[in-house]
Amino acid sequence: MTEIISLLSILHPILDKTTAKQFSIIIEAMFTMTGRCTMLGISRWTSKGGSYRTIQRLFKKKLPWMKLFWCILKTHLLEKDEPIILAGDETVVTKAGKDTYGLGRFYSSIYNRALPSLSFQTISIISTRTRKSFPIAVEQIKSKPKNKENKAQNPKKKRGRGRPKGSKNKNKKDVKLSDTLVQLQKMLKEVLKLISPYLKPTYFVYDGAFGHNNAVQMTRQTGLHLISKLRRNIQLCFQFDGIYCGRGRPIIYGDAVDFSSLPSEYFVWSHSDGKNRTAYYRFIARHKKFADPLNVVVIFKTDLKTKKTAKVILFCTDLELSCEKIVDYYRLRFQIEFNFRDAKQYFGLEDFMVLSEQSVCNAVHFSFFCANISQVLMKKTGEQSIIDLKLRYHGRYYATQILKIVSNLGSSIKKDELLDQIPIFGSIHRKKKVA
């Protein structure tokens, strides 16, 4: 347990003495316990000073979570000026009942439908060196109220054919951001302000939900380049490379992109594994709803037996970024899904039963914070999975309690040797004994 206490000692300048002590007690319990990570469950595995009422009070306290995340990351998991990218995604936590703050109906890709749930927007730092993701900012997405009455009273009027008289061309860079984009932009700016003296990211990666101009402009306003995915049926045009005639507005749109027969000059490379052949194409393209040209990468995957082909269209706002980097960075985005898995499966992201806004915020942040702490502990102890890590602390907890009982009986036992040997029982990856 001393490993966790010494690890969390760096948080003392951010937290007051009482909060720091309670914080370390709860983190220790979450690594030791089995079963659901609720406040009552945590209190059953805490030592002195971790009563149920104490945990309730801490969960209602406002904590500087982004600073706490960053303190752990820059001290133990990231090096100064390390190459990184920022990645974002939304996670949905199903909830029953009616009183949990922010409860609404959000779409879950796991269930493939909208469910009564809570939704959280997350930003992670992904190291391109270690290829691991570390959450740094989490915010709840508020559910939208239903306005069926307003829609019935004010139906949309259909506009006639053609362009309205007197209408002027609009600047595609002047966009009205949705509530989700405004929230995410605010989070990005806070993250960049916090980490900029230590790290300088260039790219922000998001899934296909950001394959539109508003998301591009939101990202560019923060000083980052966006890497995302376009729809498979999108209509693109090549960048016009002809000679300007000298009159009128310069032409920017070239021929339409025909994905079924892309010119060989845009071919980058291909590889085959015996069953499938994957080909990569890269070119600069434009879309009439995007303000700026896009660096597009098209990936074709062909089944060599059935000859069926599927395609994925990625894009980046940095026109100089290579095809290999775009594909690699977009693949790295999936590392954030492992953060969601760890937080839900091991640290109670699906288990919390609190209702108020601050308690929900703290419960969610505790889950992601433990996911980061687990990366530090596995790096120090050499464990290969969180299951082994939790079994380690679970075993040490039982061993400590047993040794307390034995020591009270007056028996002389070498505690350190037992504490190192007992936790390996039940672990998946057993350590080899050193001869």
Read off the pLDDT of residues 241-268 as tens digits, 9 standing for 90 and up: 877 777 777 888 889 999 999 999 999 9
Cβ of 221: how many Cβ atoms within 10 Å? 15
At 161 the pLDDT is: 81
DSSP 3-state assignment of 231?
Answer: coil
CA dist 254 → 18, 284, 320, 355, 411 (Å): 66, 11, 20, 56, 86
Cα-based angle 398, 368, 212 (whole degrees, multiple of 5)? 160
Assigned token pair, 223: 């000083």
Which residues, at least 6 apart from 181, have a Cβ–Cβ distance to it below 8 Å?
214, 215, 218
In one-letter notation, the amino acid at residue 33 is M
Which of 147 and 297 is assigned the larger pLDDT? 297
* DSSP state for residue 154 in the 8-state scheme: S
Residue 5 is predicted with a pLDDT of 83
What is d(CA 218, CA 206) in angstroms, rounded to the nearest whole number? 12
> Exposure pattern of 29-44 as b/e (b: 16+ CB <10 Å)?
bbbbbeeebbbebbbe
Q: What is the pLDDT of residues 323-341, one digit of tens each?
A: 999 999 999 999 999 999 9
* Kind plus residue range of the DSSP H or E element containing 192: helix 179-195
State which amino acid sits at residue 345: Q
Q: Which fold has domain 237-243+250-319?
A: Nuclear Transport Factor 2; Chain: A, (3.10.450)
* Res 402 pLDDT > 90: no
Structural Rg of the chain based on CA atoms: 26
**Helix residue spans in 16-89 (DSSP H):** 17-32, 39-43, 52-59, 65-72
Interatomic CA distance for residues 375 and 22, integer angstroms: 21
Mean local confidence (pLDDT), 78-89: 94
Residue labelled with tokens 């319990």: 29
**Residues ≥6 apart with Cβ < 8 Å to 379:** 76, 77
Looking at residue 410, what is its pLDDT? Answer: 57
The token duo for 79 is: 């090096």
Where are the domain boundaries for CATH 3.10.450 in the chain?
237-243+250-319
Q: Which of 102-111, 219-228, 321-330 has the lowest mean pLDDT?
A: 102-111
pLDDT per residue as tens digits for the range 353-398? 999 999 999 999 999 999 999 999 998 888 889 999 998 888 888 8
Helix (H, G, I), strand (E, B) or coil at 287: coil
- Tell me the three state secondary structure of residue 77: helix
Report the C-alpha dihedral over residues 6, 8, 12, 13, rounded to 10 degrees. Answer: 110
With a pLDDT cut of 90, the percent of the chain lying above it is 65
pLDDT band at residue 432 under the 50/70/90 scheme: very low
Per-residue pLDDT reduced to its tens digit, 192-211: 999 999 999 999 999 999 99
pLDDT for residue 427: 56
Q: How far is CA 40 from the centre of its chain?
A: 28
SS3 state of residue 156: coil
Average pLDDT, integer, range 405-432: 59
For position 225, what pLDDT does the model report? 97
The residue whose two tokens read 């009183």 is 99
Using DSSP's 3-state secondary structure scheme, residue 205 falls into: strand
